Each structure stands twice: as structure tokens, then as C-alpha cells.
Amino acid sequence: MTLQPSRLVSINRDAPPEGAEAFCLRRDGRNIRFMLAPGGEKPRGTVLISPGRCEFIEKYFEVAREIQSRGFAVFITDHYGQGLSDRPLKDRFKGHIDSFDTYAADFEAMISAVWDRLPGPHALLGHSMGGMVAVKMLARGRIPVRACALSAPMLGINGLAPGASIAATAAVLLGLAARYVPGRDTDVKAPTYHGNMLTHDQARFDRMVRYYEADRALMLGAPTFGWVAAAARAIDETRRPGFAESIQIPMLIASAADDSLVSTRAQERFAAHSLSAQLVDMPHARHEILMEKDEIRQRFWAAFDALLTRAKL
């Protein structure tokens, strides 16, 4: 494994966090991009961020600056197949993965490679798919963090009936893993605010679109059969007896009340089985809580600060 300098995409009115640096980790023949940002002269620790599907480092600049304002250093990654990390297929816009274990192993390898630059203690912040990756890492016991905050974690997917996951698995076995799932728009273009399922905040939505316009390479399209099958396997794993109970560090699960993408019921079920998770409802929030209107985000940050207090960070 080797480290190489990388780059950050820039747009007007959205500065990177102070002192931010981008790198790529060369691992198993793949380049995985990540960003480090310091926490000041005497940092309280480091927050490790695991973004959701279709997301990229630059989308979290505002979040990173807010974490820095709390005295923490920041680590953010582009998961394999997303952002400016390498993509697994010739068509870079297909959302594909073989297993969510790949995401988890990559994340663990990256923080191991720069551990001396991540002052402790450490907390983990995961959104949606990144929240699923976070709980997998915690259950594996290979990531030494003291607290974990999950924003609308993908512990279940709305509309993913058992039949759909079985069909996706069958397609993988038939050699169709790299094909788009049917019924999804395969024309990769910048999204529009009207009718979006992510946020009520148009300014933050438009900021995301400006990044796509600045560098089309950041974009990602519909998922493949392989991605859906991998997601279904990961969801099944979190529902096994003892999985939630195995994670004993203080945990926050922020559940978006107006989420049409992931299952809030699955989040409630996970929290009910957990020995340490606190479920906090986010009224009027769509899926991307951290990209929502200020009043919703303030509720999240208040819960996040309470988590840090509970974890003595």
C-alpha cells in the first residue's frame, strides 16, 4: 500500500476546511481518495467520516468546518467507486460493488496508513450507506473509536422487498452483476431540486450540483445488480441476533422523519436491540440530515455534542 497526493475540487463560496490535504491510498491495485484536515494546535480528537452512496469529499466541506470549530481533526473518504476514487467498472457511472466488506476494509486500511496524523480520541460519523459501513466496521472490532454518530443509516432500504434482493442475487449468479437494475434512469445528469428526496434546503442542494458541474467525474448513476445484492447481504447481517448488541460504544442514530430512501423502522429496530444507541427523531427532515435546513441541522449537532459528552470526548 502506498500514499500519493491527490486534489480537491473547488467552487465559489465553499472553502475547504482549514489545512485540508487530499491523498490517494494505493491498495490492491486501486486508488482510494481521502482528505485530512487538522483540528488546531491542541485538537480534542478526530472525527472519521464515512459518506453515503453517490457522495464525495467536497460535499462534506461544511460539515468538516463545523467539526473543526469543535476542536476536532477530520478524516473523510471517497468510498471505492465514488467521488475521485477509482471505479470498479469501465462505465464509471455505474454504482457497483462486490461486497460492503470492501468499503469497510478500505476505510480501515486508510486510517491505519495515516493513524499518526489522526489525534485521539476518535469518533465515527456515517451517513446512509456510510452508516452501514460504520456499523460493519464497529462489529468487526477493527476501528478503535469511542463514539459513533449515524445520520439516516442504511439499515434497511425502502422498496427493497425480499423478492428484489433475491432477484439481484440471482442476477449476480447469472453473471449480470455489472448491469444496471431495471427501472432506473441510466442517463447520468445533474439532479434538479424540484421533487428531490434528499433535502428541503435548495442552497445546499444547488451547491452539490455546482460540484457536479465543476467536475463531472464526481457523479454516480444508478446501482447495479451487484450493488443491490451486496446491500441486501449487508442489511441481513445487521439483523442477525447479537449484531447490534456487539457494538457497545455510545451511539447516536439520527432518524429522518420524511425519509423516503432508507427505512426508519429498521433504524428503530436496531436501536431497540442495541445496548448503547440513542435514537433521535429529526422531524421534517428528508434523507440527507447533514445537508438539510439550518433548524434540522442544529438539532443534529445538538445531539452530536451530547454524544461527545456521553463518550467523554
Higher pLDDT, 293 or 1: 293
Q: 19: phi > 0 → left, psi -120 to 50 → alpha, else beta; which? A: left
- Res. 167 pLDDT band, cuts 50 70 90: confident
pLDDT at 165: 81
- CA dist 192 and 22 (Å) reads 29
Residue 185 in this model has a pLDDT that exceeds 70: no
Q: What is the pLDDT of residues 245-285, one digit of tens each?
A: 999 999 999 999 999 999 999 999 999 999 999 999 999 99
The cell for 39 is: 483540528
pLDDT at 162: 77
In CATH terms, the fold of domain 2-310 is Rossmann fold (3.40.50)
Mean pLDDT of 115-134: 98
- CA dist 49 and 257 (Å) reads 22
- CA dist 22 and 56 (Å) reads 12
Which spans in the chain are helix H? Answer: 61-69, 100-113, 129-140, 162-173, 202-214, 225-238, 264-273, 294-310
Mean pLDDT of 26-53: 96
Query: 210 near 11, Cβ under 8 Å?
Result: yes
pLDDT at 189: 85
Residue 163 in this model has a pLDDT that exceeds 90: no
For residue 260, CA distances in Å to 15, 16, 70, 118 come to 31, 30, 31, 35
Query: 208 near 196, Cβ under 8 Å?
Result: no
- CA dist 225 and 223 (Å) reads 7
The cell for 155 is: 439499515
pTM (predicted TM-score): 0.97
Phi, psi of 76 (to 5 degrees): -135, 145
Q: What is the pLDDT of residues 130-156, one digit of tens each?
A: 999 999 999 999 899 999 999 999 999
Task: Classify residue 58 by its DSSP letter.
Answer: G
For residue 43, CA distances in Å to 34, 56, 70 come to 20, 25, 9
Q: How many CB atoms lie within 10 A of CB 163?
A: 8
